[in-house]
Amino acid sequence: MTPTCRAARTLSRTPPNPYGKDALVATSVRATSDGSPPSSRPAPSTSRRGDPGAPGGWRTRLYRFDTKASPYAYIAPFFLVFAAFGLFPLIYTGWLSLHNVQLGESGSGSWVGFDNYTNLWDNQFFWKALRNTFTLGVISTVPQLLMALGLAHLLNFKLRGRGFFRVAILAPYATSIAAAALVFVQLFNPDYGMINQLLGHFGVDGIRWDSSKWPAQIAISSIVTWRWTGYNALIYLAAMQAVPADLYEAAALDGASRWRQFISVTIPSIRPTIFFTIIVSTIGATQLFGEPLIYGGGVGPTGGTDHQYQTLSLYMYDKGWQVGQLGQASAVAWVMLLILLLIGAVQLLFVRSNRRKLGG
Amino acid sequence: MRTSGRTRKAAVIAVAGLATCATLITGCSSSDNNGSKGGKSSSSEQITLHIGDFNEFGYNDKTGAKLFSEYEALHPNIKIVEDNVTDGQQYWDSLKLHLQQNSGLDDIQAIEVGYIAEAIQPALASKFLDFKTVKGFSADDWVSYKEKQATTASGQVIGVGTDIGPTAICYRSDFFKQAGLPTDPDQVAALWNGDWSKFVQVGEQFKAKAPSGVAFTDSAGGLFNAVLSSQPTQYSDQDGKLVYDSSPGVKTAWDLSAQAVKEGLTAKLQQFDSNNTWSAAFKTGKFATVACPSWMVGLVQTNSGPANKGKWDIAQPPQAGNWGGSFLAVTKASKHPAEAAALAQWLTGAAQEVKIFQKFGNIPSNKGGLSDPAVQNTTNDYFGAPGKPAPTGKIFATTAQSIQPAPIGPDDGTVKDIITKNGLLDMEQRGTSADKAWSNVKAQVKDKIGE
């Protein structure tokens, strides 16, 4: 079989989901290690039918109890922690969102039904925050993922000091949001910041990065992009390294250029990883909080003097902790969850249809 | 055999785990109790009093007036521990939660004047000791409006006054000279005496001949706060109900600030912004005046730096107003309420407040402290012409005497934030018209408070 032919075959049956194989492996491993308890199950049942007072009776029962209950005990810590810090807050927030509850007020608040939600529907600041969250999400996620793809592609080549570059691109991710945001605040300062000084050389003067809507949103999204590009690039790089080298060899023999290889071999091969990063970045963008808060300084919680860059998270924080309307803040939290689920569902449908297309 | 062995081992581990948990839990709660154990204490029993405050109250030994060790020397059985939180907003937010949960409270808790109206609402006030039940308490010891602010509708007094913030005007005499205005504090004060609108008129004169790049005043928000602090009606009426949109005081302050913005008299800065643009502008000389509550004097000094010494001066304000100050309250959760109340009273006594003033410049709210020669004769040589240091003590003490109390309400702080940050700053930075900015303010107040 010529390499070209093999590559073509592999290309045509690009696995619908490369995780599928891993998952299978994992299951089979678990099955073998778990194999013994099911096979020994008949033993206790026979002894139960026998004399219960026999000396071996309690021991068998204990054994049965051990095999039945122990697994639950082993997984219990996770579920207990999840119940305390995941499920309970979720349900409690839902309960709060149906009540009028003030921060710092004792008592359980009064039942208001879906008022908190209908109030959001009529609230201009909520819609503004929703729009800002969307625009900030788009202008931070799209360039970030595209740049990450490019970076990963470059790092995938054999180049000198590859290890250094790989660590270097992850450095922003290791920086705290506060530190990064404060540095960007200085860079984007309209009066003495470096960006405006540089732009001044090109005849662009006095951009109000702090108060004009789009400049401020661009500045904030640049913090996000700076922090997360390297992280995503590393994920892409890991996926790219799993792409068999012979695919590239075959493509090269077919006369495909580097660009063509990137488009036709790399991208399709790491498509599941791309979907993964899109989902994670979307979740991150929807919850965008620290960057605009710190970037805004004194007007952080309201996201600028005119709410120019107030995200949903900031709006929720403002409602809950600055104003003390826990009920309304909880309603915002639930709306955010629903929006995320909606986006997740749309993405899932997209992935499915994509897979079907590839499969068919 | 193997299985049961494993079970036993698991049981041992589980028991050990439980024991550890139990130790942790009891360990926690017992250490919690240690702080103020003892229940009813006799005067000879060793007790510890916790005092919670924020920012800098000037009591401690390290940087303050060493009042704690002085009190401990007077009362050998009492030990004082200060729990200090730097950020005032953060301090109040967590104090509110502690009050609600009735846990984690100190014997004495400081409350800033911006939050006192919230603290005297029934839900929170019920957690504090009534000073009227304390021996030796007389509300008349403090300037008239101080204790009124800490009195609930039912007459309970929840706190004793620490400092107040009489407001003067700090100005750059060098810039005034360049703009052809007088530089002597008395002559400057005469320019705007009696009316804030004259202050804005002086701003117009200043602008006509101002050195380039120098605005008349630092921020519309600062001007707004200063004007409003001198008004008899502010955000709320006598019952604490929010009336900001019909209050003549708010209208006066808003109109004057909006006029100042429109005429370009402000440097478009935000006071206390975390990006430090405002504090940096002191050093670079971006504005000629700043409304100066007594606690602002130190900030002007540190922000401007030694290089600008002698360029600043202080003049009497157009109208006297109060901006800032705090209270000490005793919580009902305290195990030693009598001792805690005695300490709070001692800390806010005339002699002690004078000591803090000498160390820190906080103006005493105690009448005896305010009229003390040590306060009256204090001068500050960072301000004023060479050889003629500014008589800060006299200026602030005089202003403090003529302050008219205004009713306050629990939502004042929120409205103030919206007006200064989302209203005036938006006008300054984005050129929003005054009418539009005001309707924005109203929409946001409605969104946040629901009125």
Mean pLDDT of the A246-256 span: 91
Chain centroid to CA A259 = 29
Q: Do B270 and A298 touch (CB under 8 A)?
A: yes
B440 contact residues in A (CB cutoff 8 A) = 306
A124 touching B, CB under 8 A? yes
Q: Which pLDDT score is estimated for A351?
A: 81
Among A47-61, B68-82, B207-221, which stretch is predicted with the lowest mean pLDDT?
Answer: A47-61
Q: Do A305 and B6 touch (CB under 8 A)?
A: no
A34 touching B, CB under 8 A? no
A318 contact residues in B (CB cutoff 8 A) = 448
Mean pLDDT of the A33-47 span: 44
Could you tell me the residue ranges of all domains in chain B? 47-164+326-358, 165-322+401-449
Please provide residue B105's backbone torsions phi and psi, each rounded to the nearest 5 degrees: -90, 145
Residues with Cβ < 8 Å from A50, sequence gap 6 or more?
Answer: none
A62 touching B, CB under 8 A? yes
Closest-CA residue to B224 (of B194, B261, B189, B177): B261
CA distance B450 to chain A (A): 10
Contact B164, B146 (CB under 8 A): yes
CA distance B426 to chain A (A): 5
Superfamily grouping for domain B165-322+401-449: Periplasmic binding protein-like II (3.40.190.10)
Q: Give the whole-angstrom CA distance, residue A80 versus residue A83.
A: 5
Please provide residue B427's backbone torsions phi and psi, each rounded to the nearest 5 degrees: -65, -45
A59 touching B, CB under 8 A? yes
Please provide residue B287's backbone torsions phi and psi, each rounded to the nearest 5 degrees: -150, 160
A207 contact residues in B (CB cutoff 8 A) = none
CA distance A299 to chain B (A): 6
Q: Which pLDDT score is estimated for A148?
A: 95
Q: Do B422 and A59 touch (CB under 8 A)?
A: no
CATH numbers and ranges of domains, chain A: 38-81 (no CATH), 117-359 (1.10.3720.10)
What ipTM was assigned to the predicted interfaces of this complex? 0.71
How confident is the model over B170-212, as pLDDT tens digits?
999 999 999 999 999 999 999 999 899 999 999 999 999 999 9
CA distance B408 to chain A (A): 18
Residue showing tokens 């202050």 = B199
Closest-CA residue to B315 (of B182, B223, B145): B182
Encode burial over B123-132: b for 16+ CB neighbours within 10 A, e otherwise: bbbebbbbbe
Contact B247, B409 (CB under 8 A): no
Q: Give the whole-angstrom CA distance, residue A260 versus residue A200.
A: 39
If one counts every other C-beta atom within 10 angstroms of the C-beta of residue B134, the result is 18
Q: At what angle do helices A213-241 and A124-155 cross, to 10 degrees?
A: 40
Mean pLDDT of the B221-233 span: 93
The pTM of this model reads: 0.76
Q: Give the whole-angstrom CA distance, residue A79 versus residue A86.
A: 9
How confident is the model over B104-148, as pLDDT tens digits?
999 999 999 888 988 998 888 999 999 999 988 998 999 888 888
A43 touching B, CB under 8 A? no
Fold exhibited by the domain B47-164+326-358: D-Maltodextrin-Binding Protein; domain 2 (3.40.190)
Answer yes or no: same fold for B47-164+326-358 and B165-322+401-449.
yes
Cα angle, residue A328 at apex, residues A325 and A334 outer, rounded to 5°: 135
Interface test with A, best of B13, B421, B445 (most A CBs within 10 A): B421
A32 touching B, CB under 8 A? no
Q: Label each residue of B263-307 as H, E or C.
A: CCCECCCCCCCCCCHHHHHHHHCCEEEEEEECCHHHHHHHHHCHH
Q: Do A105 and B449 touch (CB under 8 A)?
A: no
Average pLDDT, chain B: 86
In terms of Cβ atoms closer than 10 Å to its own Cβ (0-12, 13-18, 19+), residue B30 is exposed
Q: Do A299 and B447 touch (CB under 8 A)?
A: no
Contact A99, A327 (CB under 8 A): yes
Report chain B residues touching chain A, CB-CB < 8 A: 3-4, 6-7, 10, 93, 96-97, 99-100, 123-124, 270, 272-275, 277, 414, 421-422, 425-426, 429-430, 432, 440, 443-444, 447-449
Q: Do B429 and A66 touch (CB under 8 A)?
A: no
